[in-house]
Structure 1
């Protein structure tokens, strides 16, 4: 047997070839001791016939065992016949106990669990009879006592080693079950990993599509807040040029239109690259809002007041850009729709929050009406809410027809690092 074989493989080799080997050794010892044990001519012929039967039995079992079910009828028949032949051989010559001892080793593999002790008992009887000193049956009371003592010893040892073997078998079966469960768990894990990989790929696709959609919405809102408002202002200035005969006034409106065009072009370029508004590039949010409110008042002719409350703190660029764009949109709505005579803008630093309030005394509107002040692009109040929502903020609108409008944006105060 090769050194690389496992314990199970070694036992398998013994079960296959061990009985044949033990039978050969027993036969050799019986031939050498025939005169010593007093075998008669009839005993010799009977022994030869039994050995031939044992060889035929081993040949049959060697061919049948691979296809026979474990502990099935064929296995039980083989064990019973081999035990009977071994008993008869030991009756003729006690040295055949060498062959009979094989009944101890494979009883658990050949017999059902309920018949194992019976098989051990039969083998113990054979072994004790062959070792009691006079063969079978015992010739004297002394030999019967020796037989009884040897039988108790053999049977006790057989039960002891049988229990050890049974526990080892149970442990092996538990290990086999554990390995099977682990293999099933590994299979399920591999399936789960494969499913997770598919889900991950789908999530990547969805995230990419969501990113594309979000970027489109951002660009659309930026275009609305820069180009659309700028073009509206340019059109208003050009219309003012056509309605006046004073060259100086016309020149003033043309200069404003050119300035709006340059400003809008710069903001459009910055929007494409997702940069902060130019007004915040070299100024704080209060400074940028003050300039924005002042420029709006000068352009529209509407009085506009700007107020800052609380302690001014440096803000994250995204927070500042969001509030500035919301203020620009709210002022643009007031200019286009409110017909207001006065507007007020208040920026309030409130601990962990910052609020922006834009109020006017214009005509007001019904906030429940669909898309109020949305213009043609649909990025009015909805756009302001979307901007605030991207940084976990909110926008609330209070208005009634004839009672003016108040837009309040509330966002987390995220400080610049």
Structure 2
């Protein structure tokens, strides 16, 4: 069921409630017409009856029509309303037998206004106006108690059951719509992550291919030309070799610049520490959460894939903090060790149960780090924050 269908169902329910609230006016109007067109007991008597009718109309209009939210919720007010309804109905019945037409409405209004078992007590009490009519015979009252009252109670019970089922279905459908919307959002997020990961991996693959073929080949050419230049005698040949060496070295620089251009996002024009600082600053502005970056050890260039993995780990950890942790502070630590590069991300959020399987992002991060012979460790506890530690071997930039 879509949200449009839900809105339609709610509007239809409101229309039915309004119909239940206004129906007594129709029967009261019919009873008035029968009473005033019949044998007239005199004008003063009719004016008195009309005054009671006006009071009843206002009484019902205030408690039921004007305040539908009070139905079955404001118990005390509804008991006062129903007692007044029975009293006014009894007065009208005592003045004219035509108003006995209105008594069945009291059965209905007992279930409309009174909650729980009070509604069934209200149905029994709805027989009291019969006693106010001088023309009511004991047989008629007994018939009402034995037949009409149980029948009204049974119908009311059935209607309430259908209402509860309708409410339960509407709530279930609302939950299903919310879950479907969340799943659609997650699906879109997964598609974006997959697209981004695919582009990043393709760029990284191209960078590796260029590094392992063209760059390495040009490095060998430069080395060979340097040796040839050393072995050559002065003259035009040596000058030509020198020009070729400079051309090869310039081409090597351009190839390395192209490799750097294939590095993702903040790493395009910056080292890892600077890229992390840019990423953290953007995240801090977006989520308005205090965050800091600390770099320990001696920073040195690492292999492009290592730096990309560290950056992606920071982005994934920060994304999880922003979406789930409800943290007030996040601290990142980038540590350069002799043979390791370690990223630690700690927050003071609500934490979570680490025995449960993580989401897609964390799973993808573990796979990525594992391909580089690294490790990912997650420590967390309820209301004690979360710590994510990513360790990777320090592979040099020129490896």
TM-score (norm 2): 0.48
Q: TM-score, normalised by structure 1?
A: 0.46
